[in-house]
Amino acid sequence: MNRWIGLGLAAALAALPMVASGQSLLDQLEGTAGHAPPSPGLSALEGTHGHEPAAPEEPILCAEGQVCIEEATQLPLRVLPRPFSHVYADRNADPAGIRIANVPSFHPLYVFERQDLDLSDAADPAGWYRVGRTRAEADGWMQARDVLEWRQALLVSYTHPGGPIEGRNPVLMFRDYRDLAGLVDDFDMAGRARALYRAIDDGDAPEQVVSMEPQRFVDITRQFYVLPILEWEQTQIDGDDARLLQIAAAVPGARGADTLDAAEYREQARVARVDGAAERRSDLQADIVFVIDTTRSMQPFIDMTRDAVASTAARFRRMTDDRVRFGLVTFRDSIEVIPQLEYDTRNWTPELVDSATLAERLEDEVRATEVGSLDYAEEVFAGVDTALQSQWRDGALRFMILIGDASSHPKGHPQNITGKDEIDLRRELDDAQVHLHAIHLLDPRATEDHPIAEPQFRHLARIRGSRDESAYDSVDAFDDRAFYGLIDSVANGLIERLATTAGEHEPVADEELPPLETLTTVDRLWEAALVEYLGRSANPPKDIVAWVLDRDLVHPVDRALDVRVLVTREQLSSLAQALDQVVQALMRAEVTQAQFFEALQSVSGQAMKRPEDLGQARDLAGTGLLPAFIQSLPYRSDILSLNDEMFASMTTEQRSQLEWSILAKLEQYRAINEQVDAWFRMNDADRDRDMVYPLHLDYLP
């Protein structure tokens, strides 16, 4: 194994790799429209992988009465208290001088001062930290042996585990690095891991396993927890990079170590992901939003969708009245390019409605346009983006049914009005817990568009927790019977599964209605949504330090952990302001034929403390324009390597796509900032400005 300990230390950003023959430069920047590169996850983290020693400790600046700052990153220095630790009034571990007893484990504290530190013996460090729960003032002193320095706000989150049969296994948390490393190095890693899971299922927790992720999914964007990365080591499993991570575990506002020795935690962690009849939930609801292309030739499909909704009302009268609400978003093309289209997207249901109301609107109001487009592609991405902003009900399972016969304009195209593509929207669908089923109408007269549209539709319809499976179905656009059967099976299939799960009576029978076809794609989509819903009752482990693998121990191809970075609103805002200036510079350079850095200096120079850094920088990372915390993170970012030579070599289309990529991130930052419930307090005493959001690495520039 190649080992690199000390993730908390600053690491150099990767240089942009050489451009392979036949590969566009932009492919190496952000990925191109029409295909989805793999999520970077932990593979995006930088490191020396054991070939070089860890970097020396960055200087810490501590001013009287103020929080200590890391000089290189300008981030406040924080520590994570170990279990059963105390804050003392003075630098004296006298029980009589305890100011705060039994500080919450692994809840970050700000450092105001460091005295007499000697960290040469990691097992028994000496010295003291003056700490505080807020930036405003210090609370007292903690011994160095009682805390862990946490330099970067990197943490991991559990991935969606998938279903109970084909999904991944829960993360096992090992007491000691050597136990996990020995397992990973074993030729029969999968067999040994299965034995550990069997022992846990039998109630006989293995000595080397301190705790375990619950079988049920705990979504960090809904149930906030903290898994800071303390150390890590890279290895390879079957030729694929994997990482062993030492993590701490904390849940704000909760106390007590959750180990497999604790009966209460062990029992809740072992509760099955989905448990058949035991999971009949009387409070279960579902929201279903249709996203429909209303360009020319789509009127028959609009009518058949209306009939399918009417079929839903006939089959499930009580269900659709009480439990199900519907939405409708239609899309066409850019009205800036073709004003006669009247709209690019329209939300016909500002508030979600019942099935009868939806059928009426499909009958009376929604019509396909008679105006033609400039090309075959439409604004599919804009339709999905608008539908994401629907007034979803709290607690309801959320579904979209996308119906279209054409691809969407890629990022950077003049008719792409959102600046987003299927990759951007898939991230937003996941964060919003919205599950999309795509119905692709295949027009035999447009076969050249099918290879473009299908990857877009498939990626949008990717089933959470699966390896490569999508809720994607295609049908001949001239086979009306086949389309009606498909839309009927999708819409009614979701509600039938709702009825079964909720323990409702059998659906109302109607001899005139054809039998409902069972679709595997609907089964898998429902299962993924139900796993999320049932996971709300699970509690993640807390107050432990352990070693974990970022992959499934039995099936290492499945990623078990994703990397995130905690950002405050202030940090997100400063990042957005910097990226906005980068976009302005890209646009100005394109118009004036200036070099990129020359344009960047004209746009940003007055806003910078040291504008001369722009002229001396070799790449965007060296300009000092972007927030220091971004440059301190040990992850690969090719955009930060942008320089004059690279910009000069890009085509007009590549520059446009780069602009749209950054604009899409800016739009995502805005949406995150406006989500009131998405921001969390690490400590109860934190002010609003110190609230944090677990930003996925994919959202970084």
- List, for residues 10-27, the tens digit of each pLDDT value: 222 222 222 222 333 233
Distance of CA 636 to the CA centre of its chain: 17
User: From CA 608, how far away is CA 616, in angstroms rounded?
Assistant: 14
Percent of the chain with pLDDT over 90: 36
Q: What is the pLDDT of residue 13?
A: 21
What confidence category does residue 98 fall into, taking pLDDT thresholds of 50, 70 and 90?
Answer: very high
81 three-state secondary structure: strand
CB atoms within 10 A of CB 102: 13
Task: Of 389-393, 594-598, 675-679, give the range with the top mean pLDDT.
Answer: 389-393
Q: How far is CA 594 from CA 586, 602, 614, in A?
A: 10, 10, 14
Q: What is the pLDDT of residue 647?
A: 84
Amino acid 566 reads L
Residue of higher predicted confidence among 610 and 364? 364
Nearest CA among 128, 133, 111 for reference residue 65: 111
Nearest CA among 92, 132, 135, 130 for reference residue 113: 130
Q: What is the pLDDT of residue 45?
A: 45
Q: How far is CA 451 from CA 79, 419, 440, 448, 548, in A?
A: 51, 21, 12, 7, 40
Range of lowest pLDDT (226-230, 552-556, 673-677): 673-677
Structural contact between residues 326 and 362, judged by C-beta atoms closer than 8 angstroms: no
Summary mean pLDDT of the chain: 81
Q: What is the pLDDT of residue 144?
A: 93
CATH T-level assignment (fold) for domain 279-536: Rossmann fold (3.40.50)
∠ Cα 82 85 91 (to 5°): 115
Q: What is the pLDDT of residue 551?
A: 95
328 bridge partner residues? 290
Structural contact between residues 524 and 471, judged by C-beta atoms closer than 8 angstroms: yes
DSSP of 280-348:
--TT--EEEEEEEE-STT-HHHHHHHHHHHHHHHHH-HHHHHHTEEEEEEEE---TTT-GGG--SEEES
What confidence category does residue 121 fall into, taking pLDDT thresholds of 50, 70 and 90?
Answer: confident
The residue length of the chain stands at 701
Residue partners of 97: CB distance under 8 A and separation at least 6: 88, 89, 90
Distance of CA 153 to the CA centre of its chain: 16
Alpha-helical runs (H) found in 365-449: 380-388, 422-431
What confidence category does residue 454 fall into, taking pLDDT thresholds of 50, 70 and 90?
Answer: very high
Structural contact between residues 102 and 69, judged by C-beta atoms closer than 8 angstroms: no
Q: What is the pLDDT of residue 179?
A: 95
What confidence category does residue 682 fall into, taking pLDDT thresholds of 50, 70 and 90?
Answer: confident
Amino acid 72 reads A
Q: Are strands 561-568 and 692-696 parallel, antiparallel or unpaired?
A: antiparallel
> What does the pLDDT look like over 265-301, one tens digit per residue?
999 999 988 875 445 577 889 999 999 888 877 788 8
> What does the pLDDT look like over 497-538, one tens digit per residue?
888 888 765 544 444 545 556 789 999 999 999 999 999 889
User: Strand (E) positions, 85-223?
Assistant: 87-88, 98-100, 109-118, 126-132, 140-143, 147-150, 154-158, 172-174, 209-212
Q: What is the pLDDT of residue 42?
A: 45
Q: What is the pLDDT of residue 517?
A: 65
Q: What is the pLDDT of residue 129?
A: 96
What is the residue whose two structure tokens read 């191109």? Answer: 32
Range of lowest pLDDT (163-177, 200-214, 249-263, 614-628): 614-628
Alpha-helical runs (H) found in 624-691: 628-632, 644-649, 652-674
Percent of the chain with pLDDT over 70: 82
Q: Domain map of the chain by residue range?
A: 60-150, 160-271+540-559, 279-536, 566-699
DSSP 470: B
Q: What is the pLDDT of residue 52?
A: 33
Mean of pLDDT values over 547-562? 95
User: From CA 111, how far away is CA 125, in angstroms rounded?
Assistant: 16
Residue partners of 113: CB distance under 8 A and separation at least 6: 62, 68, 129, 130, 138
> What does the pLDDT look like over 360-411, one tens digit per residue?
888 877 776 666 666 678 889 999 999 999 999 988 999 999 999 899 988 8
Residue 555 has pLDDT above 80, yes or no: yes
What confidence category does residue 614 fall into, taking pLDDT thresholds of 50, 70 and 90?
Answer: low
What is the reported pTM? 0.82
Q: What is the pLDDT of residue 396?
A: 94
Distance of CA 631 to the CA centre of its chain: 21
User: From CA 182, how far away is CA 447, in angstroms rounded?
Assistant: 53
79 bridge partner residues? 109, 149
User: 299-315 vs 480-502: helix axis angle to the nearest 10?
Assistant: 30
211 bridge partner residues? 173
